[in-house]
Chains A and B, each alone.
Chain A
Amino acid sequence: MSIRTENLNYIYMKGTPFESKALDNVSVNIEDGEFIGIIGHTGSGKSTLIQHFDGLLKPESGSVFIDDVDITKKGVNLKAVRQKVGLVFQYPEYQLFEETIYKDVAFGPKNLGLSDEMIDNKVRKALKMVGLDYKESLVKSPFDLSGGQRRRVAIAGVLAMDPETLILDEPTAGLDPRGRDSILNEIKMLHDKYKKTVILVSHSMEDIAKLVDRIIVMNKGKCILTGTPREVFKESKMLIKIGLGIPQVTLLMKRLREKGINVSDDVLTVEEAKREIIKYLRGRKDD
């Protein structure tokens, strides 16, 4: 599924003293099957932007095309759009409410008026995608699970709607490193194996660097840069200026280059940094 915005503008609290421009002429293009990362300072417009992708917010002006249909036009079936675009909010586990895991995950498909058999199929599939046990889901309350597991249930609830695109707003906030890695691995699998288009909003530059194909950088309501992680993290000065960071290893390479050491500056992971440093040190020995 592709998503494209054209000159999107959105104003919060219009006509009040608190009026502010949350989106300022944003034009972005997300291709079918891409893994996109959106980064930006708090208040940069990230969350406002993703809420336009499934028609939760209506723009002041501009268009949002989902598979070439402008969903801002009158008469568009937004219900169908929201089935295609699954949105996982921050701390989604706070939205769980059913008495068993199964019922919680089944809530969405049930509201679509599907048969019990079809609902069951969708729930089984969704549970499997996030690595939750079907049998246990029938008897266990989601509230007896750990934070990371509860978040899985919430994500499964969105997946049960069988969306073509999955948008996740800070899916790892508050999780410990192990919980974070396992949720991220599952998100990666949804992209690689189940061929979903994935849009990940995150404050963790390390996670973004490791996972996504392309990054959209938001600042003050504008999309100021898009590119592969390597292209984007080269702009370290600009990223730091707008309140973001770059991965520590990328910063290390920059600092080494400033000292006149000839290492590549598009390093994103510890593994790559190690290779670059070894190459440099061995090269020096041969001189």
Chain B
Amino acid sequence: MKDMITANDLTFIYKKEDGRQDEAALKDININIKKGEFVAVIGPNGSGKSTFAKHINALLIPTSGKVVVGGFDTHNEKDLWNIRQSAGMVFQNPDNQIVATIVEEDAAFGPENLGIPPQEIRERVDQSLKAVGMEEYKNRAPHLLSGGQKQRVAIAGVLAMKPQCIVLDEPTAMLDPSGRREVIDTIKKLNKDEGITIVLITHYMEEAVDADRVIVMENGKIALSGTPKEVFQRVDDLKRIGLDVPQMTELAFELRKEGINVAPDTLTIDEMVVQLCQ
């Protein structure tokens, strides 16, 4: 499979207001994310997750090293719009991302700016709202929607740009449990049905369990990387970094300490039930 995103020796240093340089926020990061992959990025605050995410759609440009998105090097300013069209971003606070007073106008904002013919905008907006399950709400005012619904509208706005990849920076941090489920189910569906590459930044380990790959960041570096099963069974490492593990993995870890033979890479309730019922 082809690469969607590659980062080679990516280093990024924020400049302070007085011109002095801060410590590097990203240090020699090397990542390949394949087309169609669902990657979850976890790590404590300040570990560089969001800084990395902002490199994917060229909101930040590497201080050294390079990032290539959909074949475009983010150092090349002339490819900026191609990059932003390939990789859409969804942020934490839904209220900061909604620009229009009607749901479907909000979803149309991106393609309108691309100068796409009205007929095609219509089609794209309808398709996008349908893909996130918000077509019934297309004539509603966004401020009267729930948090989960607003985030789905934000995702529809990105989808209408027909991106190959969507980067979501803690999209569920401000949502209640059912809002979180709505958003995560939508992301999974877009990944499976539409083949869109997903980069999901999250503090909720339960959301990372469904990814193809989990990348753990610490102090601007990649501390661990692998399938959820590979990463989450390293309970001690994750706790040292200051992260949670899914409750079922922690329970498996504790039971193993007592000599009970359950798999160390147990992630879900279903897996635990099967093992205990044997």
Residue numbers of A with Cβ under 8 A of B are 18, 40-43, 146-148, 173-179, 203, 205-206, 243-245, 247-249, 251-252, 255-256, 259, 261, 270-271, 273-274, 277-278, 280-281
Docked complex Cα distance between A247 and B177 (Å): 11
Docked complex Cα distance between A146 and B246 (Å): 25
Docked complex Cα distance between A48 and B69 (Å): 45
**Closest-CB distance, B86 to chain A (whole angstroms):** 28
Docked complex Cα distance between A259 and B254 (Å): 22
- Name B277's closest neighbour in chain A (CB-CB): A259
Contact of A41 among B176, B251, B258, B276 (CB under 8 A): B176
**Closest-CB distance, A128 to chain B (whole angstroms):** 24
Question: Does B45 touch A at the CB level, under 8 Å?
Answer: yes
Given A42-B146, A173-B173, A205-B177, verify A256-B247 contact (CB < 8 Å). Answer: no
A–B pairs, 13, beta carbons within 8 Å: A41-B176, A42-B147, A42-B176, A173-B174, A177-B44, A177-B203, A177-B243, A203-B176, A244-B178, A248-B206, A261-B277, A277-B276, A281-B260
Q: Which residues of A contact B269 (CB under 8 A)?
A: 248, 251-252, 255
Interchain CB contact under 8 A, B251 and A252:
yes
Interchain CB contact under 8 A, B277 and A178:
no
**Closest-CB distance, A91 to chain B (whole angstroms):** 9
Main SS class of interface, A:
helix
Interchain CB contact under 8 A, A178 and B248:
no
Question: Does B179 touch A at the CB level, under 8 Å?
Answer: yes
Which residues of chain B from 182 to 207 have any CB-CB distance to chain A below 8 Å in the complex?
203, 206
Given A203-B176, A245-B177, A248-B248, verify A259-B273 contact (CB < 8 Å). Answer: yes
Q: Which residues of B contact A278 (CB under 8 A)?
A: 255, 258, 260
Q: Which residues of A contact B178 (CB under 8 A)?
A: 41, 243-244
Interchain CB contact under 8 A, B177 and A243:
yes
Interchain CB contact under 8 A, A147 and B45:
yes
Interchain CB contact under 8 A, A18 and B251:
no
Given A177-B242, A248-B248, A249-B247, verify A243-B45 contact (CB < 8 Å). Answer: no
Docked complex Cα distance between A206 and B176 (Å): 13
Docked complex Cα distance between A175 and B44 (Å): 9
Question: Does B25 touch A at the CB level, under 8 Å?
Answer: no
